[in-house]
Amino acid sequence: MEMQYTNLGRAGLLVSKLCLGTMNFGPRTEEADSHRIMDRALDLGINFFDTANVYGWKLGEGITEQILGRWFEKDKRNRDKVVLATKVYNKMGEWPNEKGLSAMHIKKACEDSLRRMKTDYIDLYQMHHVDRRTSWEEIWQAMEQLVQEGKVIYVGSSNFAGWHIATANGAARQRNFLGLVCEQSLYNLTERTVELEVIPACEHFGLGLIPWSPLAGGILGGLAQAGSRRQDDWAKQRIAKYGRQLKRYEAFCETVGESPADVALAWLLHNPVVTAPIIGPRTLDQLEGSLHALEIKLNARQLAKLDEIWPGPGGPAPEAYAW
Our answer to whether residue 55 is catalytic in this structure is yes
Helices 103-117 and 63-74 sit at what angle, rounded to 10 degrees?
A: 40
- Whether 252 and 306 have beta carbons less than 8 Å apart is answered as yes
What DSSP string runs through 211-247? EESTTGGGGGG-HHHHHHH--SHHHHHHHHHHHHHHH
What DSSP string runs through 99-159? SSS-HHHHHHHHHHHHHHHT-S-EEEEEESS--TTS-HHHHHHHHHHHHHTTSEEEEEEES
Query: How far apart are alpha carbons 193 and 187 in whole angstroms?
Result: 8
Give me the catalytic one of 55, 89, 154, 242.
Answer: 55
Q: 121-135: string of b/e by CB count within 10 Å (b at 16+)? A: bbbbbbbbbbbeebe
Query: How far apart are alpha carbons 194 and 17 in whole angstroms?
Result: 20
Report the residue count for the chain. Answer: 323
Active site residues: 55
